[in-house]
Amino acid sequence: MEISTLTIDGVKQGLRARRFSATELAGEALRFARAENSKTNAYLTFCEERALSAAAAVDAKLARGEDPGPLGGVPVAVKDVILTRGVRTTCGSRLLENYVPPYDATAVVRLEQAGGVIVGKTNCDEFAMGSSNENSAFGPVRNPAAPDRVPGGSSGGSAAVVAQGTAVVSLGSDTGGSIRQPASFCGVVGVTPTYGRVSRYGLTAFASSLDHIGPFGRTVKDSATLLGVIAGRDEMDSTSAAAPVPAYDALLDGNVRGVKIGLPREYFKGLASETGDLIASGIETLKQLGCEIRDISLPSTDYAIACYYIICTAEASSNLARYDGVRYTFRSPSSPSLSAMYRNTRGEGFGAECKRRIMLGTYVLSAGYYDAYYLKAQKVRGLIAGDFINAFAEVDAIIAPVSPFPAFKIGEKINDPMEMYLSDIYTITGDLAGIPCMSVPCGKTAGGLPVGMQILANHFDEARMFRLAAAFEKETN
Amino acid sequence: MAELANLHLSEEEVGKFLHDLDDILVHMDRLNEIDTSGVEPMAQVLYDAEETATLREDVARASVSNRDALANAPFSGAGYFKVPEVVKR
């Protein structure tokens, strides 16, 4: 079996034709994942027991002639900020090195109910804070396309395992681009659904008003199938949406003639690079497919970075207050008093980027600065979301870059946090507005580095976004 | 700020973060350039939905057990989390 290029349909066919059993597939995925991990460091934990028992259940269903579910036997990897009952979940943090959650995230429950086989938990930036996966306490992930380069972040591991082929699909999380940017850097499909489309129950909170769980896949269809499985109302997350979930993977008919696409001029000014050229040729392809292309404006874009980093750090500073040495495994050995326990546990447990963001968030929420920073940022967020509402009155979808540049070298940007933040400009706006957006591969640089093109759509319009992406994928493959 | 956030920082970290945060705050001050008069602050993503979507029947149901809740505690005993002495006997 050629596991590294398998799709969900390929797994289904292989099982049906008895070319392999789900147990054999899980065993091969685990063997391959372990062998590849010395090259990429993409997995933090393997779930052998859980994978084999899930696979055995799929085989038993098949033997009884039952439908094993839309993900029956499919090897899946899960980002290590998403809780798995009984399987260590570190969030890429020293603080949670030994944390074993007492419950499963809703997305995990749903993907296992659909027959998915979780092979392992993937490396990520600490508490999903970063754009390069270099902020993991367990070492950086290496990009499978170029081992001296980052895979992107924060869901770097989840992108890398799909690119290297040790999992067919994976779950990541996105707060400011953490699914789309690594998808772009690793050359896979990555989807950030509408805010509330997927339950956040069991997703470790970073910035609650911006956090999303979403899928990675090697194809648009696989990503669409996985989203269809995990999406939908969950009473454990009051922000999860009740809107019905269409069969996304059944709507990929390839017809995109007459679809109106907007190109936000603020995203393309100054994008003179190989990335810009690849996106331009992607747009040309969409034009040939019959899409109508027009210029649009998202005038508040210049303020998005400042707005995002105020809101996300403010929310992070309160969400991360719970890691105080009482409940979550790590307590500083130097805890002579309650306040020393708090300070030392957090000082020793958190890495530099988490500390920086906790400090910033504390500052923008503090008395005297709240109105100038936090409240102002919330108003600017309203303007940014309003820009998209106006745009979607005119167009069906928006095309944009994902990142201003392809995967950079490990170590290249880690000492300049502001420069790292600025590179998130094209992805954070979608999170601030809560609209669905995705990265779809659109070619490689002369040096062989993958580049993704971003598609953004209106709230709950994932089906149209997938249809566009599938037509594009078919045309460019 | 570190004190307010209950974070112990080394001298070296204080120096580095002073520099980083200065850089970042200078960028954030750009927000003053944009006119937001009359704009409602947006705390949460907004879209059309039924107002009752978040309500459920008010009935008691099982929760995480005491044992599970304490399983990850660095120190616990007699069904409680244990912390350093707060009040002298």
Model confidence pLDDT, tens digit, residues A56-72: 999 999 999 999 999 99
Per-residue model confidence as pLDDT tens digits over A28-54: 999 999 999 999 999 999 999 999 999
For position B48, what pLDDT does the model report? 73
CB A309 within 8 A of CB B24: yes
- Distance (Å) from the C-alpha of residue A20 to the closest C-alpha of chain B? 38
**For chain B, where are the alpha helices, taking DSSP H only?**
11-28, 66-70
Nearest in space to A457 (alpha carbons), one of A426, A425, A430, A421: A430
Pairing of strands A397-401, A450-457: antiparallel
pLDDT at A235 over 80: yes
Which tokens is A198 given?
A: 């997927």
CB A451 within 8 A of CB A445: yes
Residue A64 lies in a domain: yes
CB A99 within 8 A of CB A323: no
| Closest-approach residue (CA) in chain A for B2 | A359
Count the neighbouring beta carbons within 10 Å of the beta carbon of residue A299: 15
- Distance (Å) from the C-alpha of residue A386 to the closest C-alpha of chain B? 10
ipTM score for this prediction: 0.94
Residue A328 lies in a domain: no
Within the 1-60 window of chain B, which residues sit less than 8 Å (CB to CB) from chain A? Answer: 1-2, 4-10, 13, 16-17, 20-21, 23-25, 27-34, 36, 39-47, 49-50, 53-54, 56
| Closest-approach residue (CA) in chain A for B74 | A329
Residue A135 lies in a domain: yes
Q: Which of A125-129, A137-141, A214-218, A412-416 shows the lowest mean pLDDT across its residues?
A: A412-416
Pairing of strands B76-77, B80-81: antiparallel
For position A2, what pLDDT does the model report? 86
Mean pLDDT for the stretch of residues A265-289: 94
Which tokens is A168 given?
A: 């067919």
Q: Does any CB of chain B come closer than 8 Å to the CB of residue A310?
A: yes
CATH of the domain at A96: 3.90.1300.10
**Residues of A identified as active-site:** 79, 154, 178
Q: Which residues of chain A neighbour B63 with C-beta distances below 8 Å?
A: none
CB atoms A241 and B6 under 8 Å: no
Pairing of strands B76-77, A450-457: unpaired
Per-residue model confidence as pLDDT tens digits over A299-318: 999 999 999 999 999 999 99
pLDDT at A140 over 80: yes
For position A272, what pLDDT does the model report? 73
CA gap A271, A294 in Å, rounded: 18
CB atoms B72 and A328 under 8 Å: yes
Within the 417-436 window of chain A, which residues sit less than 8 Å (CB to CB) from chain B? Answer: 417-418, 421, 433-434
Residue A446 lies in a domain: no
For position A267, what pLDDT does the model report? 96
CB atoms B20 and A417 under 8 Å: yes
CB atoms A331 and B4 under 8 Å: no
CB atoms A309 and B28 under 8 Å: yes
Residue A388 lies in a domain: no
CB atoms B31 and A363 under 8 Å: no
Residue A246 lies in a domain: yes
From the list B28, B33, B68, the residue facing A102 with the nearest CB is B68
For position A39, what pLDDT does the model report? 96
Mean pLDDT for the stretch of residues A409-428: 94
From the list B23, B31, B68, the residue facing A418 with the nearest CB is B23
HSE (side-chain half, CA atoms, 13 Å) at A368: 1
Residue A264 lies in a domain: no
Nearest in space to A153 (alpha carbons), one of A441, A427, A477, A448: A427
CA gap A177, A191 in Å, rounded: 10
CB atoms A377 and B5 under 8 Å: no
| Closest-approach residue (CA) in chain A for B86 | A338
Nearest in space to A337 (alpha carbons), one of B6, B78, B80: B6
Local confidence pLDDT in tens for the 89 residues of chain B: 999 999 999 999 999 999 999 999 999 999 999 999 999 999 998 777 766 567 778 899 888 999 999 999 999 999 999 999 988 87
CB A174 within 8 A of CB A212: yes
The alpha carbon torsion through A94, A98, A102, A105 (nearest 10 deg) reads 40
Flag whether the pTM goes above 0.95: yes
Q: Domain count of chain A?
A: 1
| Pick among B12, B13, B28 to test the A interface (most A CBs inside 10 A) | B28
**N-term to C-term CA, chain A:** 22
Displacement of CA A383 from its chain's centroid (Å):
25
Q: Tell me the pLDDT of chain A averaged across its residues.
A: 97
What's the DSSP call for residue A399? E
For position A253, what pLDDT does the model report? 87
| Pick among A199, A323, A355 to test the B interface (most B CBs inside 10 A) | A355
CB atoms B72 and A380 under 8 Å: no
Which tokens is A221 given?
A: 């269809």
Q: Percentage of chain A surpassing pLDDT 90? A: 96
CA gap A19, A25 in Å, rounded: 10
CB atoms A359 and B74 under 8 Å: no
Range of the domain at A170: 3-250
Mean pLDDT for the stretch of residues A120-131: 98
The DSSP result for A423-471, as a single string, is TTHHHHHHHHHT--EEEEEEEE-TTS-EEEEEEEE-TT-HHHHHHHHHH
**For A64-154, where are the alpha helices, taking DSSP H only?**
106-113
Residue A272 lies in a domain: no
What's the DSSP call for residue A413? S
Q: Which residues of chain B neighbour A390 with C-beta distances below 8 Å?
A: none
Q: Which residues of chain A neighbour B64 with C-beta distances below 8 Å?
A: 102-103
Q: Percentage of chain A surpassing pLDDT 70? A: 100
pLDDT band at A298; cut points 50, 70, 90: very high
Q: Does any CB of chain A come closer than 8 Å to the CB of residue B69?
A: yes
Q: Which residues of chain B neighbour A364 with C-beta distances below 8 Å?
A: 28
Per-residue model confidence as pLDDT tens digits over A320-368: 999 999 999 999 999 999 999 999 999 999 999 999 999 999 999 998 9
From the list B4, B30, B45, the residue facing A434 with the nearest CB is B45
